[in-house]
Structure 1
Amino acid sequence: MSTIPFVFKAVTLAVLLVFFVVDIFVVGRNPREPSTKECLRHIVFFVVAALVFGALVWLVSGAKPALEFYSGWLTEYSLSIDNLFVFVIIIANFAVPKKLQRYVLSVGIAVALVLRGFFILVGAAIVQRFTWVFFLFGVFLLYTAVKLVVGGSDDDEEYHENAVVRSLRHVVPITDEYDGEKLRVEKEGHRYFTPMLIVFLTIGTTDVMFAFDSIPAIFGLTHDPFIVFTSNVFALLGLQQLYFLLGALLDKLEYLPYGLAAVLGFIGVKLVMEALHGNTLPFINGGRSISSVPEIPTWVSLVVIVVCIGAAAVASIVKMRIDKGLQAEPK
């Protein structure tokens, strides 16, 4: 049960709606590519906004929900950064003109928010009724963590269309050229969809796959749907600017998948421990819940997330500088 006052929730959602509309549909509709300074200003603003929001949660409801928000926000933000590389590949694969990229990202992020909201509602209902689902969430996150370590970032080097997009190409007439922001055009008396439809569908369905990682991960940190939702919104705000700022660097952050793997693995173990603590198993402990299984405090989760992601980022930057120095040495 959430301890956050209803009035605080209502005001927060209203303010976030304004932020999101301005960020996505006002700033995001500007056809020009933003400068580095502009990107940095937007990113710093939303990072500070998230930190202030966490402090306000601490003020009205105490330390536990605030630490849960910070942990969830950092996890979602880290996963969003990793997923940006896939967006870079998608936009490049479909040759989206630079002047249309902000618009594409605007719609894609809006779709992502709607889909994540749906997954959060469903996930919250399932978690409240069937706590044993934590076993499934935990095992899935551990599998994802192992896959990240074994596969590294090589899996993202080439984008492959999913079955939905491939099927659509066979049943819907689609042109080869963009026509501004239009989804449909008329040529020689026939109506055609532009490639913009495929781009939107690809980004939307790709984010659904991302949600299978991020939603279980954050439910491993908090059971409060409000904290889950606000963590996701703050992670998506400023994502456009982060795309343009990091688009050329994401492939160089080669240790980021390992940091994410450590975070997901930790949360997976945490979920399994929580499931063991609160559920009865027929072949373990005589069919009783294992109350002796320790619960990991929220502040420990926050420290683990910060250390793992921070170490991965620092290691990647150091590796970049070492590689740059080796390339500059005379042969």
Structure 2
Amino acid sequence: MSTLWIGFIVFVALLLFLDLFVLNKEDHVPRTREALKWTAMWTAIGLSFSAVIWLAYGNGWIASELSPQQATINYLTGYLVELSLSMDNVFVIALIFKYFKVPAKYQHRVLFWGILGAIVFRLLMILAGVYLLEQFDWMFYVFGLLLLYSAANLFGQEDDTPPAENPIIVFIRRLVPVTKSYHGNHFWIKRKGIRAATPLFIALMMVETTDVIFAIDSIPAILGITTDPFIVFSSNIMAILGLRSLYFVLSSMMDKFGHLKYSLALILVFVGVKMLLHQVWHAPDWVSLVVIFVLLTGGVVVSLVMPPEGKEIV
């Protein structure tokens, strides 16, 4: 593993440590203004990291055939794709917290540990995805079709399966006892000498499995832009680091962005078609960045101007 990889992992670990143990060591419910401030900070960090990408690929800190310009554009495009798809994830997480009645002041803690687990899972999935694309050209078609299938699901009916019926949750409840009530911010407690999981742990597992499901969409989408593992991983992680603050901003407004899912579906269609046509169509890197930005912005604007029926903006 190169120095750049090690440095990036240490940098992310430092950010997570400061977030949980310094800046948010007390359980509380972030107000909208506070959440907006943190969202702006995480977004600034994510966008500013493009300067590191420019320097790294311009000075040979990592072995790659990409020019600094190409690497930076690919990073920003991947960052934007993951950020846009994370919005859909935020709405699902809000439903999970509502279903399990997770106290608002403990939601940040669940999101923190959920994202920590997501970093590990995504690194493994990214390395596996890059390996498959490098070894088997036909995997481009598999990933492309997977993205089109995911887009069709977004256009179709919502999944109304109760969270409690998630196979992972059912499996956990068969393995260990689960308390009926919350016990502060604890995931596990000792009850009559026996360790038992709390509903907070169940909610965490639900968030983790949900993230893995969304990663099945987002990682192939970024691999459709570039197969450079460091760019895929760094853009992915820098985007989801701000997921906690983004959650507190968007969860209260989730009904106001009813048309956003169509933008997300079109983004998946665009990247999926791009992967399917990778041997005959080689669009400039900036084209993907512009198309994805326009689709995402369009979905937000249309949702605000023409809110879904019964969801007027007030």
Q: TM-score, normalised by structure 2?
A: 0.88
**2:303 equivalent among 299, 308, 316:** 316
Contact 1:58 1:66 in 2 (8 A): yes
**1:205 equivalent among 188, 202, 209:** 209
Deviation for aligned residue 1:159: 4.2
- Quickly say closer, same or farther: Cα 1:42–1:129, change in 2 above 3 A: same
Aligned counterpart, 1:40: 36
Contact 1:32 1:99 in 2 (8 A): yes
Contact 2:77 2:289 in 1 (8 A): yes
- Quickly say closer, same or farther: Cα 1:58–1:185, change in 2 above 3 A: closer
Aligned partner of residue 156 in structure 2, secondary structure? helix
Deviation for aligned residue 1:63: 1.0
Aligned counterpart, 2:265: 261
Aligned counterpart, 2:224: 220
Deviates more, 1:29-38 or 1:114-123: 29-38
Aligned counterpart, 1:20: 16
1:38 & 1:270 partners in 2: Cα distance? Answer: 39
1:273 & 1:133 partners in 2: Cα distance? Answer: 12
Please tell me the residue identity of whatever aligns with 1:195. P
Q: What per-residue deviation string (whole Å, max 9, x for no partner) do you get for residues 150-200 of structure 1?
A: 23xx43696463112123223421110111232333334544322222112
Identity of aligned residues (%): 39
- Quickly say closer, same or farther: Cα 1:14–1:175, change in 2 above 3 A: closer
Contact 2:164 2:170 in 1 (8 A): no
Aligned counterpart, 1:146: 152
Q: Aligned residue pairs: how many? A: 303
**2:180 equivalent among 159, 162, 176:** 176
Say if 2:87 is the partner of 1:81.
yes
Aligned counterpart, 1:287: none
Aligned partner of residue 227 in structure 1, secondary structure? helix
Please tell me the residue identity of whatever aligns with 1:46. W
Please tell me the residue identity of whatever aligns with 2:98. A
Aligned counterpart, 2:71: 65
Q: What per-residue deviation string (whole Å, max 9, x for no partner) do you get for residues 39-78 of structure 1?
A: 1221112212222222342353421111101110000001
Q: What per-residue deviation string (whole Å, max 9, x for no partner) do you get for residues 210-259 of structure 1?
A: 11111111100111110011111111122111111111112220111100
- Structure 1 portions without partners, runs of 5+: 1-5, 278-292
Contact 2:78 2:232 in 1 (8 A): yes
Deviation for aligned residue 1:29: 3.8
Say if 2:280 is the partner of 1:296.
no
Deviation for aligned residue 1:80: 0.7
Contact 2:274 2:281 in 1 (8 A): no
Aligned partner of residue 247 in structure 1, secondary structure? helix
